Structure 1
Amino acid sequence: MAGAVTVASALLGFPVAYYMARYATGWRKGFFYIAVMLPMWASYIVKAYSWTVILSKGGIVYWLVERLHLMPALEWVLELPGVGGSSLSTSNLGRFLVFTYVWLPFMILPIQAAIERVPVNLLQAAADLGARPAQSFRTVLLPLAFPGVVAGSIFTFSLTLGDYIIPQLVGPPGLFIGNMVYTMQGSIGNMPMAAAFTVVPIAIIGVYLTVARRLGAFDAL
């Protein structure tokens, strides 16, 4: 789930960050900054509870799906192995959507900062040498902005990996690390097992940060 949320956030966040860095000026740039950061001002728990209503049957998502006559497709997706659930609010797909929404701003802002640090004359030089826009993006912009993607992935990956509120409120019961730690030290009182589960994300994030540092992610924070 942490990997899927990170990839989805990068795919959604890069175009938004690129537009903010290269095309948005004046009040438009301020509007995008506010639009990206405004969800971060709301309470995390309130957002999680709100999404349980949005994704439930009778919510706005189901209303829109019915209006677009996509209900058979949605029901087919919910029946796929690993997706599970009688509705979006009780499925892994709904959980994935909520995670992506909540952590997307943490991906957009580092990418936007990394793109702004790429000199425009490098793209102009690539165009003068005959590179098409897609080639300039693939060979010039993306490699230079990639540390921003890695920097954003530090937040999206680690926050999803250790979260226990969203897995508890949205989707089917699942063995998420945060939930296991909470259960072991709370209702069961097995502190040694809770401590053992805690070591797992620490080790994973330690390796992840080491790789991210080698890729220059810390320079993009």
Structure 2
Amino acid sequence: MSRAGAFLHRRAGVRLALLLSAPLAWLGLAYLGALAALLVTAFHSVDTFTGTLNRTFTWANFLDLATGEVYRTIVLRSVGVALAVTAIDLVVAFPMAFAMAKLAGPRTRRWLVIAVLTPLWASYLVKAYAWRVMLSSGGLLGWGFGLTATVLTLAYLWLPYMILPIYAGLERLPGSLLEAAGDLGARSWQVFRTVVWPLTFPAVIAGSIFTFSLSLGDYIAVKIVGGRSQLIGNVVYDNIGAAGDLPFAAAVATVPVVVMLGYLAAVRRTGALESL
């Protein structure tokens, strides 16, 4: 034991490898393994007569996705909803995060952080059904169901995931920079455009990754408040359940993965990820 301890003491790399071996193994098996199984299943098919799984390699599922106008519409609608939710959350979250980080006192700031975190303690279904009640014909808003209701519900559900990263980014922003910009004669909009926004842009990107990805794959809120609207998550759910076509559901489930990879690649070109 003493020799092993001395060996590990001299080699920091070995200590780090042993420390990370269990989490990396779990990541590889549970996360990457599941993605690999998903991708493999997407190239299978289901016998339309017997309903049994045919493990012969085929591109049929992806061809149906590429050539079906309905599925293209659903993908574009899902991306549009995710972008709308992200934009709404950004507009609401930035002033709230700025007030928390730069205007509120230390004690008030703690209570504001608790207030932002409190909705996360409630059940997802409770919050979604609460919006269903408010949006119903006899509810507080009475707007009915559909894409608008879906966007509002998702924007509420994921708002804390946008506020907290921006708040963390603004908290690290030195107040002396704001004072210096004011002393040099910069107006409020100029301070925001030249100082605040560039330095907090990585935090905005971090929050947008949460809101965009969570909205892109959601299906429960759409079922509850979306009416007859169909998004990617609903197509996956319906093909797993009622249709029983697991390979096609796996093919549809690869679409959000591809979209998120494209989103992350676009974000990476801005250099924001390196600044996180």
Q: Per the shorter chain, which TM-score range?
A: 0.7 to 0.9
Q: Distance in 2 between matches of 1:93 and 1:175?
A: 13
In structure 2, the partner of 1:31 is: 111
Query: Is the counterpart of residue 149 in structure 1 residue 229 in structure 2?
Result: no
Instruction: Name the TM-score, length of structure 1 as normaliser.
Output: 0.84
Q: Distance in 2 between matches of 1:173 and 1:35?
A: 34
In structure 1, the partner of 2:136 is: 56
In structure 2, the partner of 1:182 is: 237
Q: Distance in 2 between matches of 1:152 and 1:109?
A: 8
Corresponding residue SS for 2:242: helix
Corresponding residue SS for 1:122: helix
Q: Distance in 1 between matches of 2:106 and 2:173?
A: 20
Query: Is the counterpart of residue 47 in structure 1 residue 127 in structure 2?
Result: yes
**Whose Rg is larger?**
2
Q: Cα deviation per residue 1:142-166 (whole Å; 9 max; x = unaligned)? A: 1111111111000100000000100
In structure 1, the partner of 2:148 is: 93
Code of the aligned partner of 1:41: W
| Offset of residue 211 of structure 1 | 3.0
Q: How much identity, in percent, do the aligned residues show?
A: 48
- List aligned pairs for 1:121-200, cutoff 5 A: 121-200=176-255
| Offset of residue 218 of structure 1 | 6.4
| Offset of residue 217 of structure 1 | 3.8
Mapped contact 1:95–1:170 kept (Cα < 8 A)? yes
Query: Is the counterpart of residue 206 in structure 1 residue 258 in structure 2?
Result: no
| Offset of residue 194 of structure 1 | 0.6
Corresponding residue SS for 2:241: helix
Q: Distance in 1 between matches of 2:207 and 2:274?
A: 10
Corresponding residue SS for 2:137: coil
Query: Is the counterpart of residue 18 in structure 1 residue 73 in structure 2?
Result: no
Tell me which moved more, 24-33 or 41-50.
24-33
Instruction: Flag structure 2 segments of 5+ consecutive residues without an equivalent.
Output: 1-80
Code of the aligned partner of 2:134: I
Code of the aligned partner of 2:84: A
| Offset of residue 213 of structure 1 | 3.8
User: Of 207, 216, 220, which aligns to 2:272?
Assistant: 216
Tell me which moved more, 22-31 or 205-214.
205-214
Mapped contact 1:148–1:217 kept (Cα < 8 A)? no
Instruction: Flag structure 1 segments of 5+ consecutive residues without an equivalent.
Output: 63-87
Corresponding residue SS for 1:94: helix
Instruction: Name the TM-score, length of structure 2 as normaliser.
Output: 0.67
Code of the aligned partner of 1:135: Q
In structure 2, the partner of 1:82 is: none
Mapped contact 1:151–1:218 kept (Cα < 8 A)? no
